[in-house]
Structure 1
Amino acid sequence: MANCTSCSAPLPANTQYCSYCGVRNDIDLLGKHDYQVIDSTSERVCPECAQSLQTISLDAAGSLHIERCANCYGLFFDPGEIETLLDSAVAPVVTVNLELLSNINQDRYPQNATVKYLKCPVCQVLMNRVIYGYRSGVIIDQCRSHGIWLDGGQISHLLEWKKAGGQILNQQKIAAKQEKASSEQFKKAFRKDYSRPQQSYGEQSVDGDLVASVAEVIFKIFE
């Protein structure tokens, strides 16, 4: 059984929250990377505090530069940088722990939190609120052109989510969605080709509606 890194109390299975001291434990993570401030006043502005963001360098998969607010600890990632950080900060995962995923999300955020749309630190256009990954429980603020904003603490949540197998679930969800889309596209093309009036082939004729009906039965058998 693992112990709390703060008070050394035993941690219940499939949880990272210590019921004795209230500290969340990042169990089995390779660790949050140390960082160095390379620019204390970048041109990018915190959407929460309206002050200049720091540019920090993380030793993750080479040199990774992201923006950080020294006041609220929010982070701004250029496109693709979150994935780079997750891949470098979490050991490879091959199984999904559904119970741990549920526990991770259970006490993270208040249920009735006020919805607030934030401006992109780069272009100052309102960002979209999007759930990052299947069952992550993390709602990110995304500018399609410039990147993703995470509130303070959300990166820890995503690290825990990946360690519990959340990224595997997300990849499976995407694959299933793509497979379903391909199947629907095939069915649509098939129906278009065969749902036609009666056609003659030499001395024989084929009823398009009959062929389409047979095809529907076949589709249902193999779904």
Structure 2
Amino acid sequence: MASCKHCGAPLPANINKCHYCGTRNDVDLHARQPYVVAKTVTNRICPHCDIPLQTIKLTLEDNVFIERCKTCFGLFFDRGEIEAVLHSSVSNVYAINLEHIDTINKDRYLKPHKIRYIKCPQCRRLMNRVNFGQRSGVVVDQCIVDGIWLDNGELIHLLEWKKAGGQLLHEQTAKAKEKPEKYHARLPRSSYSGGNDNLGDNQCDITVNLATALIWLVSKVFGNY
């Protein structure tokens, strides 16, 4: 459990404001991810606080530059940057703990959240709400062009989800869905009904051939009398 950087009081899951001293805490990066402020002001705007975001340099395997709000501590990732952070921060996960994954989600979302669509920090268009990965429990705000916004606390949630095997589960589920599609793609078009453009023509040919054979048989039988 995280603790308040000001008074040391414990912070419940998904809570960044200390109930004792009122200090807002950066639970995603403070004492968890090595970083420096690379740029104090950018042209990207926080969708909650409506102020310019900072550029943060994460010193991981490869340097990753993301944007952060200095007030609410929300994070904005360009495309592919969340995956890079997850890969660098959590590795060598070979088992899936479904019980732990469910526990993470229950602890962080004990109360229902009001759904709110927010603007992209870059293009200022409303973003889509997308569930990140299989059973992650984190509904991220995604701009299909510019990137993904995470509220404070959601990055640490994703890190815990990956440690519990959540990303491994997501990858296995995606592969399982691909197999039936690949199987049908290899089948001859006549072996399954979907996509068989000549099925109707083949049925007509069979009907004509049967009718011709029947006429021939009748003529042979009655021709002998």
TM beyond 0.5? yes
Greater mean alpha carbon deviation, residues 47-56 or residues 185-194 = 185-194
Aligned amino acid, residue 113 of structure 2: A
Q: Which residue of 2 aligns with 1:147?
A: 147
2:203 is equivalent to residue 197 of structure 1: yes
Measure the CA separation in 2 of the matches of 1:78 and 1:33.
Answer: 18
Post-superposition offset of 1:177: 1.6
Measure the CA separation in 1 of the matches of 2:141 and 2:149.
Answer: 5
Alignment of 1:3-14 (within 5 A): none
* Structure 1 contact 32–89 (Cα < 8 Å) conserved: no
Q: Which residue of 2 aligns with 1:87?
A: 87
Q: Which residue of 2 aligns with 1:16?
A: none
Paired residues, number? 179
Measure the CA separation in 2 of the matches of 1:110 and 1:128.
Answer: 23
| CA spacing shift, 1:130–1:5, aligned 2, 3 Å | closer
Between the two proteins, what is the percent identity of the paired residues?
Answer: 44
Aligned amino acid, residue 163 of structure 1: K
Look up the SS of the partner of 1:137 in the other structure: coil
| CA spacing shift, 1:91–1:23, aligned 2, 3 Å | farther
Aligned amino acid, residue 102 of structure 1: D
Look up the SS of the partner of 1:197 in the other structure: helix
2:59 is equivalent to residue 46 of structure 1: no
| CA spacing shift, 1:129–1:5, aligned 2, 3 Å | closer
Look up the SS of the partner of 2:108 in the other structure: coil
* Structure 1 contact 60–84 (Cα < 8 Å) conserved: no
Structure 1: stretches of 5+ with no match in the other structure: 7-20, 25-30, 207-223
* Greater Rg by CA: 2
Post-superposition offset of 1:187: 6.3
Measure the CA separation in 2 of the matches of 1:51 and 1:193.
Answer: 57
Measure the CA separation in 1 of the matches of 2:149 and 2:132.
Answer: 11
2:120 is equivalent to residue 120 of structure 1: yes
Post-superposition offset of 1:182: 2.9
Measure the CA separation in 2 of the matches of 1:74 and 1:187.
Answer: 49
* Structure 1 contact 118–126 (Cα < 8 Å) conserved: yes
Post-superposition offset of 1:179: 1.6
* Structure 1 contact 61–84 (Cα < 8 Å) conserved: no
* Structure 1 contact 79–146 (Cα < 8 Å) conserved: yes
Measure the CA separation in 2 of the matches of 1:54 and 1:109.
Answer: 28
* Structure 2 contact 34–60 (Cα < 8 Å) conserved: no
* Structure 2 contact 90–163 (Cα < 8 Å) conserved: yes
RMSD: 2.4
* Structure 1 contact 57–66 (Cα < 8 Å) conserved: yes
Look up the SS of the partner of 1:181 in the other structure: helix
Aligned amino acid, residue 89 of structure 1: S
Post-superposition offset of 1:60: 1.5
Structure 2: stretches of 5+ with no match in the other structure: 4-9, 14-30, 211-225
Measure the CA separation in 2 of the matches of 1:189 and 1:182.
Answer: 13
State the Cα deviation string for residues 44-91 of structure 1 (Å, max 9, x = none).
000111011010100112211000011111100000000000000013
